[in-house]
Amino acid sequence: MRRGMKYAVAAMLAVSMAVTGCANSGAKDSTGQNAENSGGNDARETGDNGTREDVIVVMGPTSEPEAGFDPAYGWGAGEHVHEPLIQSTLTVTTADLKIGYDLATDMEVSQDGLTWTVKIRDDAYFTDGEKLTARDVAFTYNTLRDTSSVNDFTMLESAEAPDGTTAVFHMNRPYSIWPYTMAIVGIVPEHAYGADYGSHPIGSGRYIMKQWDKGQQVIFEANPDYYGPAPNMKKVTILFMEEDAAYAAVMSGQADLAYTAASYSDQTLPGYELLSFETVDNRGFNLPAVKAGTISGGNTGVGNDFTSDVQVRRAVNIAINRDEMIEHVLNGYGSPAYSVCDKMPWYNESAKTEYNPEKAAELLEEAGWKAGSDGIREKNGVKAGFTLMYPASDSVRQALAADTANQLRNVGIDVKIEGVGWDDAYDRAHTEPLMWGWGAHTPMELYNIYHTMKDTGLAEYSPYANDSVDRYMDQAMASGNLEDSYELWKKAQWDGTTGVTQNGDIPWIWLVNIDHLYWSRDGLKVAEQKIHPHGHGWSIVNNVDQWSWE
């Protein structure tokens, strides 16, 4: 699956240029000063005892924030959600993916769920020396409400700061999971925020962005005035490289930690070990749950006559051997997926199913789908099957689609696979299944996928509707206690009578959670990781300040 050593050789040349050349490119640092003498990657940071205090990490090119390090334009959110390194957040997610505090010291929500009051610490300063106050918090959230291109802030009416250590959020509607939003929104300085903030960010977090060479690397240095524990790693360099170049960087010893894919996992690299991290970075496909010709918003026809049969959807779900798929496609680096919220505090265990092709065949028989002479089932002259789309540029999703097709043929379902561009995929997914990738540290993921929209009466990404599921999620949102809401999210999945799991409507088929793999230099101690969300990128460095060298 690799593309050959000639690519690796070319990549190593690119690595050498990136690592030794662009560090002295004359780029400006976060204060606007010339960074020519900042040391770059060719200088190792060492402590008093001679132990290294720097690390070089390689991520994929899509991890580089196109609009810069500005929370209003996706930094810390979206597909590569993480806790911002440069800015502080009000809250954080804990190891068990519940809520802890960063800038916040206390919070409370009104009984009607429409007012959140958050007290913040008074010893946080921006790296330009100005004190961080609740005014900066209110400014940040009002700015993101008006301009954010990634996060949805329609639930926020306004934020205000009645005093320097109190931020008050007025909501348009109850939103019990607000603390999860607060965990990814970095606070920016009102006095120093402008159009070029993303290129020259000022924050109060663990690190200062010292240098950004677009398309190549970004260098962070420890914030000496950080209010929390001083980072172990004084300098963190992130290189942005394609998969082959990342592998070459490891081969040539130019990187300390580099992302990799399962297709490389059978290699042995002297001086490095392969690290595998658990994720909820799942892959699965939708099954349109209404009949073809159903009218949606804008008089658009949606639906699929084969997948609209709930017995068909249940049969598909148990006809797939997920463990076998993990071995075939991921070289064993993954875990079975049964829900979009596997391993989360709000996951309902009833989502788990067992591979049972005999039962799957039974369900299809009961639904009237009988095997034809070619082994493919038929009903009223219609063949059992569908086209399963996948993003044309994604080889893993292509392989998962192919494996799905092979497995479903064993129970008499004919699946054709097709690579498509995203422009077509979103629209066509309303009539044909598409291989998706999801996974986040918030119940909002469940809501976004299964809750109906007011304008269409159907869910956003695939046609489906269930009033009971909507009601449980609405109640969860309106709950006055975050942890109490977890039980309502679980009921939305299955309440004993209805839901989105196997015994319910099963409008989505979840296949695997993909492990995030990294080559790590011997002696580098990567701190224990939380379960990673969707996106093989910034999550790995959430706690880079706690890493160390042995």
Position 79 confidence tier, pLDDT thresholds 50, 70, 90:
low
Position 24 confidence tier, pLDDT thresholds 50, 70, 90:
very low
Structural domain span for residue 21 = 1-83+205-279+515-550
User: What CA–CA distance (Å, rounded) separates 176 from 182?
Assistant: 12
Report the pLDDT averaged over residues 269-281.
95
Are residues 312 and 362 located together in one domain of the fold?
Answer: yes
- Which two three-digit tokens encode residue 496? 């004993």
User: What CA–CA distance (Å, rounded) separates 89 from 99?
Assistant: 12
User: What CA–CA distance (Å, rounded) separates 379 from 137?
Assistant: 60
Are residues 260 and 374 located together in one domain of the fold?
Answer: no
pTM of the model: 0.87
Are residues 142 and 291 located together in one domain of the fold?
Answer: no
Are residues 355 and 402 located together in one domain of the fold?
Answer: yes
Are residues 325 and 233 located together in one domain of the fold?
Answer: no
Beta bridge partners of 99: 93
Of 201, 227, 250, which marks where a domain is finished?
Answer: 201
Are residues 396 and 493 located together in one domain of the fold?
Answer: yes
Per-residue pLDDT of 209-227, as tens digits, reads: 999 999 999 999 999 999 9
Whose structure tokens read 């990814």? 184
Position 39 confidence tier, pLDDT thresholds 50, 70, 90:
very low
**pLDDT of 82:** 67
Beta-carbon contacts of 20 under 8 Å, excluding residues fewer than 6 positions away, are 40, 41, 42
Give the 3-state secondary structure of residue 149: coil
Of 160, 180, 201, which marks where a domain is finished?
Answer: 201
**pLDDT of 298:** 65
- Distances from the Cα of 60 to the Cαs of 122, 329, 471, 538, in angstroms? 37, 20, 40, 10
CATH number at residue 480: 3.10.105.10
**pLDDT of 84:** 82
Are residues 259 and 330 located together in one domain of the fold?
Answer: no
Report the pLDDT averaged over residues 129-155.
92
Of 201, 227, 260, which marks where a domain is finished?
Answer: 201
Are residues 106 and 43 located together in one domain of the fold?
Answer: no
Are residues 112 and 192 located together in one domain of the fold?
Answer: yes
Per-residue pLDDT of 502-523, as tens digits, reads: 999 999 999 999 999 999 999 9
Are residues 306 and 230 located together in one domain of the fold?
Answer: no
Position 34 confidence tier, pLDDT thresholds 50, 70, 90:
very low
CATH number at residue 127: 3.90.76.10
Position 287 confidence tier, pLDDT thresholds 50, 70, 90:
very high
Per-residue pLDDT of 336-391, as tens digits, reads: 999 999 999 999 999 999 999 999 999 999 999 999 989 999 999 889 999 999 99
Are residues 475 and 548 located together in one domain of the fold?
Answer: no
Beta bridge partners of 219: 211, 237
**pLDDT of 41:** 45
- Which two three-digit tokens encode residue 198? 């993303």
User: What CA–CA distance (Å, rounded) separates 479 from 144?
Assistant: 24
pLDDT surpasses 70 at 75: yes
Are residues 298 and 370 located together in one domain of the fold?
Answer: yes
Angle between helices 395-409 and 322-330 (to 10 degrees): 140
* Whether 63 contacts 243, CB under 8 Å: no
The fraction of the chain above a pLDDT of 70, given in percent, is 90
pLDDT surpasses 50 at 11: no
Mean residue pLDDT across the chain: 90
Domain count for the chain, please give it: 3
Per-residue pLDDT of 458-473, as tens digits, reads: 999 999 999 999 999 9
pLDDT surpasses 50 at 106: yes
